[in-house]
Structure 1
Amino acid sequence: MFREAAEAPDVLAAQLAANRDVLSALAAELQRSPPPFVATCARGSSDHAATYAKALLETRLGIVTTSVSPSVGSVYSVPQRMRGALFLAISQSGRSPDLLRNAEAAREAGARVVAMVNVADSPLAALADVVVPLHAGPERSVAATKSYLASLSAILQLGALWSGDAALLDALERLPGAMRRAWDCDWSDAVDGLVPARNLYVIGRGLGLAAAQEAALKFKETCGLHAEAYSAAEVKHGPMALVGEGFPVLVLAQPDATLDGTRALVAEFRARGARVWAALPGPEGNLPVAAPPHPACAPLLLVQSFYRMANALAIARGHDPDQPPHLNKVTETV
């Protein structure tokens, strides 16, 4: 896990160059014939990437993006109305039967199927109208790291090209360097504090919610630590009742219009006596953060810093981060 996560900056640099033509062509098609909506379909870490796609496409392009439950097609077999839609399937292996069935059903319903997949000759790729290889290379650790970050960067590149946002396109050129700086961020204070923990919240918002979801999953997978991800807004609708003296909270702040609200939430958590580790700029932050070349890049940097911390925490808690119990690298669900 440590080695593969450390490879992410080089993976992203190569991927952004390799996919420029295919994503430029796809973006041009989407500009000529805009879809009425975007439907994403994925599971696990890939579904967290889909959360990022929703936030990015809705905030940069104003196009409604929704997550399709794989069970609707694979278990309930109910056809969906998708004519003209963009169906974005995200997968590391491209082999899970439920994802394949839904991609097939979307194509039959008239959607344009785009597969973002690490195995470019997978069954999912064979079903797609457009294949966007993740170019992450083999992952031997069960916990996905570089393939998840490659999913985010592929989504980011598509969003930048589709929107034609010059600032975002420029930021892509600087993203690999920023990722290297993020890997060097020292989050060991959180490692020391979370060794005895049994539960925690991970907080994000907007573009950063996907980072919180991914962190919560990795806490479970690699560290044997129960963690739940919440939006900085949603946590106040009930879950805040559990937060009291010593309750651990990891906050992954997004440096955009959500930042002030997140800062206020950090203050509220601390006023309740919670033990808060906050990855945000300014005096409220006690975890260092790498400056993103664009706010939309921030979730990738935060996850990159988190992966290094999670690997260390797993070892400190006596777990093997590369071989979580009861899990396989490829999960095939129906």
Structure 2
Amino acid sequence: MVTDILDMATLMRRETLETPERIAEMLTRNAGSYAALGARLRASPPPVVVTCARGSSDHAATYGKYLIETLVGVPVASAAPSVASVFDADVSAARALVLAVSQSGRSPDLLASVGAYAGSGALVAALVNDETSPLAERVDVALPLAAGPETSVAATKSCIAAMVGLAAITAAWSEDAILADALAALPQALDRAVNADWSAAIEPLRDVSQMFVIGRGYGFGIAQECALKFKETCAIQAEPFSAAEVRHGPMAIVRDGFPVLALATSDSAGDDVELVASEFAGRGASVLLAHAGKAGLLPAEAAHPAIEPILMLASFYGLVEQLARARGRNPDQPPFLSKVTRTL
């Protein structure tokens, strides 16, 4: 059984390798829509941005939060879908921008939340992969992720597409030419990232049951996403933390040999991740560090600091797919999970 799993080409790996081409297509296809939305937001600035998503899409939204707050200066909050779907409560969001992020666009609680915000006067834009979905049909602005069919239960290319779409919206809104140039170069960089060799992390993680994943700033959303992928594909109880937050209560459980994956961007937030990783290593933890632009066990390419997390996540997906197989698991079919989660 284990041999069969190790020998097969998984859907997760195939879909990860498709990512560079899909991202190039998405950026070209949506260029006019990103520009139009950016101009609309500059002409009528929203007082707040609300993101609406779950799972991997919500991790992409966390990434978008840091981008918008640092490059545009508008506060971003995450909606609790149950406010509309369970409590049937009214929301007051006139002039807000709501960014709904979804692969399927079919989860009932997401649709209920979007409907509530739209009814209160918000401008609703959706980054959605299924263009025939109810979500795509019910919003003011639909921005296709254009990732193509994603069959593996573990999302990969759709999550990266959502992150890139949020970066493109932010670049257009802020008129940040440097970020726009970095996005134009992203497909080529992604081609290198999906083929980067992170296999050195397999043996240190082959038999672990618990671990931390550390990021900060632009990299915090991917720490969340990596932790989720460890859980669903490898059955590792991985917990994500900000490099700042982990210094509080969580620090107490780090002991000799405790595994930590640290994801550091090339900015000051990444420097803090490297610092806390060093503190953990000094306490005997087994630290696996990816630091953009620095040589290390896990290679990570330097780029615009807002782009580096996307590249690291693309490399990580290759690692976690290999690790799942090394642990005798099929990453395409995690137990008890399905591709579309219809939460209420």
Partner of 2:311: 301
Which residue of 1 is the match for residue 21 of structure 2? Answer: 10
User: Aligned pair count?
Assistant: 333
What displacement does 1:267 show?
Answer: 1.1
Q: 1:267 to 1:36 in 2, by over 3 A?
A: same
* Selected match of 1:66 from 57, 71, 77: 77
Identify unmatched segments of 5+ residues in structure 1. Answer: none
CA shift, 1:283, in A, is 6.7
- The aligned residue for residue 121 of structure 1 is 132
Q: Which consecutive segments of 4 or more residues in structure 1 shift more than 2 A?
A: 281-286
Q: Which runs of 5+ in 2 are unaligned?
A: 1-11
The aligned runs of 1:158-307 (5 Å cut-off) are: 158-281=169-292, 285-292=296-303, 294-307=304-317
Specify the SS of the correspondent of 1:215. helix
Cα root mean square deviation, aligned = 1.0
Aligned to 2:333: 323
Look up the SS of the partner of 2:302 in the other structure. coil
Alpha-carbon shift at residue 125 of structure 1 (Å): 1.1
What TM-score do the two structures reach when normalised by structure 1?
0.98
Q: Which AA in structure 2 matches 1:182? A: A
Q: Report the TM-score when normalising by structure 2.
A: 0.95
Answer yes or no: is the 8 Å Cα contact 1:263–1:284 preserved in 2. no
Q: Does residue 131 of structure 2 align to residue 109 of structure 1?
A: no
- Give, in angstroms, the shift of residue 281 of structure 1: 4.6
Aligned to 2:6: none
Alignment partner, residue 314 of structure 1: 324
What does the per-residue CA deviation read over 1:51-103, in whole Å, with 9 as the maximum and x for residues that have no partner? 01110000110110000101111111111110000011100000000000010
Paired AA for residue 209 in structure 2: R
Determine the structure 1 residue equivalent to 2:63: 52
Alpha-carbon distance, 1:259 to partner = 2.4
Q: Deviation string for 1:118-164 (max 9, x for gaps)?
A: 01121011110000000000011111000000000100111111100
Q: Please say if residues 106 and 135 of structure 2, whose CA atoms lie closer than 8 Å, have aligned partners that are also in contact.
A: yes
Contact 1:73 1:101 in 2 (8 A): yes
Cα displacement string for residues 148-182 of structure 1 (whole angstroms, at most 9, x for unaligned residues): 00000100111111100010111111001111111
Q: Do 1:207 and 1:296's aligned partners in 2 also have CA atoms closer than 8 Å?
A: yes
Report the residue type matching 2:222 in the other structure: A
Question: Could you tell me how far 1:282 is from its partner in structure 2?
Answer: 7.0
